Amino acid sequence: MEYRIERDSMGEVEVPVAALYGASTQRAKDNFPISGIRFSRRFIWALGLIKGSAATVSGEMGSIEPETADAIRRAADEVMDGKHDEHFVLDIFQTGSGTSTNTNANEVIANRASALLAEDGREGSVHPNDQVNYGQSSNDVIPTAIHVAAVAAIRQELLPALEKLADALKVKADEFADVVKSGRTHLMDATPVTLGQEFGGYATQVAKGRERLESVLPELEEMALGGTATGTGINAPDGFAADTIALMAERTEMPFREAEDHFEAQGAKDAAVNASGVLKTIAVSFFKLANDIRHLGSGPTSGISELKIPSLQPGSSIMPGKVNPVMSEMMMQVAAQVIGNDSTVTWSGAAGNFELNVMMPVLSHNLLESISILANAADTFAELCVVGLEANEERARELVERNAIVVTALNPHIGYDNGARIAKEAVATGRSVRDLVLEEGLMAADELDAALDLKKMTEGGVSG
């Protein structure tokens, strides 16, 4: 590889000739060969949005020459579009402020802006700190990028995916409304329910998760930009941050606004921790519904088998014909990852020391990963699992008719103690509750038939 010599405040550094980044980025690249995990596309997009909007405002305010400001904005737009992702080379395990990655963005945009000026026949180079980073600090840019990326990912990916999943589950709730089956509590037989009622519960879980997620958006839409180094706003002209954020809001059609308190916005990451907590709750909901569906589809001959799950791929390298609930297993693993990510975000959020949080890169990575994989999981699960689910009505009827706990509906007529005795005898002998009640003369046949109407049992109230 061929190298060029770049200089920064610490001296000379060899940088690959083709690299858009400079000396400071190269130092960080050399210092942090930790995981190979880089900042996400969403995060790099957010950095481009911030830098381009800031340059536009700086040009309008006269802080940067208009031609230079325009070149920076064009270079930053290319960063937003992903044209220079290969030059964002830094590991997320780096300086806790994310200064290295802010510098990476400054250098890439400055070098590209300089090239654009040259293409336009203009002389001079763009300075990464004095011009691309004008009116900013890593300490307000990185938390702003976290919020921008999270809001965009939630609005554009996760909220639509949750709506799609909730709608698919609601369709199944309506489709399965008349499929009467055994309820189960403690994994044991309980009074009858409909398969539709179960799926209605799942749909509501997802819908409530969507509502919870919407509730965290207002505080995520507060931007730290304008606080610069410590929250005081030193070196940022009056109105610079507000105008930049307003332009970011206009360009994205998202209601971003300047933070009410820059010391809170930079010293703490409570909004991100709160959002991660909601993502964890959504993950818990996903785990429950996916786990229920795989158990209801277990079998097909020796399990519950009240559901027929879609056959998507062979389930075994040794057992011919085996099909597994792969979509449920995918969803459960995503849930586990999000729950683990939340622990990292929580601990990272606790690391706010005085005027700055110093675990922002790893916080950002885990928060954005959770949003992304939940969205992908919800979309995929809806399309490849929920839509294709079918009720096994014959199996559901068979199991509920053998369920001795239907005797619960007879409590108002024969009392709890008689009901307990009948249920135990039914289980022990394999005889039906109806036959045993009639044999003992506890109820008349027509009264008993009315009370043991299985569909009526799923509608509440007193049977018979």
Identity of the residue numbered 101: T
Tell me, letter by letter, the H, E, C secondary structure of 358-384: CCHHHHHHHHHHHHHHHHHHHHHHHHH
Q: What's the distance, CA 264 to chain centroid?
A: 24
**What fold is seen in the domain 145-223+265-392?**
Fumarase C; Chain A, domain 2 (1.20.200)
Cis peptide before 300 (omega within 30 of 0): yes
Mean pLDDT of 66-90: 98
What is d(CA 79, CA 48) in angstroms, rounded to the nearest whole number? 5
Could you read off the pLDDT of 221-233 as tens digits, one per residue? 999 999 999 999 9
Could you read off the pLDDT of 373-425 as tens digits, one per residue? 999 999 999 999 999 999 999 999 999 999 999 999 999 999 999 999 999 99
Would you give the DSSP letter of residue 386?
G
Q: What's the distance, CA 9 to chain centroid?
A: 40
Contact by Cβ (8 Å): 344, 362: yes
Given 35, 215, 311, 316, the catalytic residue? 316
What is d(CA 336, CA 280) in angstroms, rounded to the nearest whole number? 9
Strand 11-16 with 3-8, pairing = antiparallel
**What fold is seen in the domain 402-457?**
Ribonucleotide Reductase Protein R1; domain 1 (1.10.40)
- Other beta carbons within 10 angstroms of residue 450's beta carbon come to 15
**Given this model, what pLDDT does residue 194 score?**
98
Contact by Cβ (8 Å): 292, 389: no
463: confidence class by pLDDT, cuts 50, 70, 90: confident
What is d(CA 348, CA 361) in angstroms, rounded to the nearest whole number? 9
**Given this model, what pLDDT does residue 124 score?**
84
Phi, psi angle pair for 384, to nearest 5°: -100, -10
Helix (H, G, I), strand (E, B) or coil at 193: strand
Strand 356-357 with 352-353, pairing = antiparallel
211: confidence class by pLDDT, cuts 50, 70, 90: very high
Helix (H, G, I), strand (E, B) or coil at 147: helix
Domain with CATH 1.20.200.10 in the chain: 145-223+265-392
Domain 3-134 has CATH 1.10.275.10: yes
Helix (H, G, I), strand (E, B) or coil at 14: strand
C-alpha gyration radius of the chain: 30
Chain mean pLDDT for the chain: 97
Contact by Cβ (8 Å): 131, 71: no
Is 186 designated active site?
yes
Could you read off the pLDDT of 226-255 as tens digits, one per residue? 999 999 999 999 999 999 999 999 999 999
Could you read off the pLDDT of 278-314 as tens digits, one per residue? 999 999 999 999 999 999 999 999 999 999 999 999 9
What is d(CA 56, CA 355) in angstroms, rounded to the nearest whole number? 28
As a whole number of Å, the end-to-end CA separation of the chain is: 86
Given 186, 285, 305, 317, the catalytic residue? 186
Residue 1: pLDDT over 90: no
Could you read off the pLDDT of 23-36 as tens digits, one per residue? 999 999 999 999 99
Percent of the chain clearing pLDDT 90 (strictly above): 98
What is d(CA 410, CA 131) in angstroms, rounded to the nearest whole number? 81
- Other beta carbons within 10 angstroms of residue 317's beta carbon come to 7
Q: How far is CA 340 from CA 40, 275, 283, 331, 367, in A?
A: 18, 14, 10, 14, 11
Domain with CATH 1.10.40.30 in the chain: 402-457
What is d(CA 217, CA 415) in angstroms, rounded to the nearest whole number? 53
Residue 51: pLDDT over 90: yes
Is 100 designated active site?
no
